[in-house]
Amino acid sequence: MTADIDWVALTVFIFFFALVTVMGFFAARWKSGPVSEHLDEWGLGGRQFGTWITWFLVGGDFYTAYTVIAVPALVYAVGAYGFFALPYTVVVYPFVFAVMPLLWKVAHAKGHVTAADVVQGTYGSRGLELAVATTGIVATMPYIALQLIGMGVVIKAIGLTGELPIVAAFVILALYTYSSGLRAPALIAFVKDIMIYIVVLVAVVVVPAKLGGYGAVFSAAGDAFTAKGGATGLALKSPQMLAYASLALGSALAAFMYPHTLTGIFASKSADTIRKNAILLPAYTLLLGLIALLGYMAYAAHIKVASNNDVVPALFKELFPSWFAGFAFSAIAIGALVPAAVMSIGAANLFTRNIWKSYVNPDISHAGEASVAKIASLVVKVGALAFITFLPTQYALDLQLLGGLWILQTFPALVFGLFTRWFRAEGLLLGWAAGILWGSWTAWSNGLKPLATLSIGDTNYVFYVGLGALILNVAFAVVGTLAVGLISPRSVTVRS
């Protein structure tokens, strides 16, 4: 990478960054309530977001900046296999439609702010609450670090070097999240999403036009994969098929277990808001599918990059004038701010409600909860920043991968209780532990790859570790529940 600064792009970038900074601080007064007096205000924006705000907010924090960088990078590197993000972000919505309104109703009726609150409310088990809360916090930290990496890639493409720009951007983000809470990313999400839509729509029309159409794009990519030896290509090889489907399903089941996506759910005004969003949010998936194809366009444009993550910035710099490249990079960088803010808020809510309130100060006031959460959000962000500044980037990537596997293990504890009270807390805790241990050990022993292999007879089945761990988790939860039922039969008083 050259150290030459692209001044036009940088000016556009600074303009948009300044715009969202002002919006971030202004957001405290938007649809305002007493932001510092209640965690519902700071941490959930007052539980009042309607269909459109929720659409922008969840769209903004589910489809992260890192997605815009990493999905095309993966498609560029491995072809069809990298496209699993598409079926993943389609099948997630029938699930959201069927399950999340039920979760919202429980949370709304009982005043729950986090997933661990819901679990504690359902099972009355401090152990299970702590397991869900720590899993959420630990899985979110590397995800925030990833947003910083996404931002770093575009800042580097503009020509700025060193850690200072990213530290500055993050300090600003931390300050307005501190003062405005969830309202800041909700307001900024409008700008971010509109910018991303413009960038992608322009890119998917203009880029193929410059490169000779989609037919030419696909055939250039196909030729490149054949030249590389044909281990991957424009369609999946047969051993890849189960891996592709299980990654899509496992990721979809994990997606709304994360604190940042659940924060978007709990902040909605009504269960119907969530149902309408399950219908409307797939618009972002269409966008994601088109973004993924940028990876193939890079072959048609003869882009050569040192690191796969540079594919998208390099493509934009090659094909667009500086001002539009600057606009695109601002969109991606701002795209990192929204999820980073919501993630830190989600993690802070977990810390406040399920660790601080449960173990340190059970008598904490509503205003006290808000101030603990505000400070926790700062700590979480500083932690993520220190993580990518002092440790190799690869650690963040590896941990995020493990994070997806871990968060998926909270699925039975959080979701099953919405449909049945048959499971017992001890069984769910046992299942959680079994899933986490087997999943982590398997991923670790495969060199931190998300895939496991099962040999039955002569056939090898390659599948997503997280999904395998979830199946094990459920099996242990069933066995554990049966065992506990034998030792201590259920008491007559049923908690409701």
Partner 1 sequence: MWVLLLLPFVGLLWVPFYNFQDPALFGFPFFYWYQLAWVPITSILIWIVYRSRTPDDETR
Cβ proximity to partner 1: between 283 and 360 the closer is 283
User: In the bound complex, what is the minimum distance in angstroms from residue 93's beta carbon to partner 1?
Assistant: 6
Residue 97, interface with partner 1 (CB under 8 A)? Answer: yes
The CA–CA distances, whole Å, from 430 to 201, 253, 262, 368, 371 equal 47, 20, 24, 34, 34
φ/ψ region of 462 (left if φ > 0, alpha if ψ in -120 to 50, else beta) reads: beta
Choice from 202, 234, 319, 479 touching partner 1 (CB under 8 A): 234
Residue 184, interface with partner 1 (CB under 8 A)? Answer: no
- From the CB of residue 357, how many other CB atoms can be counted at a distance below 10 Å? 18
User: In the bound complex, what is the minimum distance in angstroms from residue 225's beta carbon to partner 1?
Assistant: 12
DSSP 362-379: TT--HHHHHHHHHHHHHH
User: In the bound complex, what is the minimum distance in angstroms from residue 254's beta carbon to partner 1?
Assistant: 15
C-beta separation of 414 from 118 below 8 A: yes
Number of residues that bind partner 1 (CB under 8 A): 42
Which residues from 61-90 bind partner 1, rule CB under 8 A? 80, 83, 86-87, 90
Structure tokens at 159: 């020509």
Cβ proximity to partner 1: between 217 and 414 the closer is 217
DSSP 466-488: HHHHHHHHHHHHHHHHHHHHHHS
- From the CB of residue 213, how many other CB atoms can be counted at a distance below 10 Å? 12
Choice from 22, 194, 216, 454 touching partner 1 (CB under 8 A): 216
Residue 197, interface with partner 1 (CB under 8 A)? Answer: no
Residue 461, interface with partner 1 (CB under 8 A)? Answer: no
Structure tokens at 445: 């022993």
User: In the bound complex, what is the minimum distance in angstroms from residue 278's beta carbon to partner 1?
Assistant: 5
Residue 418, interface with partner 1 (CB under 8 A)? Answer: no
User: In the bound complex, what is the minimum distance in angstroms from residue 207's beta carbon to partner 1?
Assistant: 13
Cβ proximity to partner 1: between 234 and 367 the closer is 234
The CA distance from 333 to 155, in Å, is: 8
Choice from 145, 245, 291, 328 touching partner 1 (CB under 8 A): 245
Residue 223, interface with partner 1 (CB under 8 A)? Answer: no
Choice from 33, 127, 159, 289 touching partner 1 (CB under 8 A): 289
The CA distance from 13 to 41, in Å, is: 31
The candidate with the shortest Cα–Cα distance to 452, out of 436, 460, 463, 444, is 463
Residue 382, interface with partner 1 (CB under 8 A)? Answer: no
Structure tokens at 370: 């808000």
C-beta separation of 258 from 347 below 8 A: no
Q: Under the rule (CB under 8 A), what is the footprint of partner 1? A: 80, 83, 86-87, 90-91, 93-94, 97-98, 105, 208, 213-218, 234-236, 241-242, 244-245, 248-249, 269-272, 275-276, 278-280, 282-283, 285-286, 289, 293
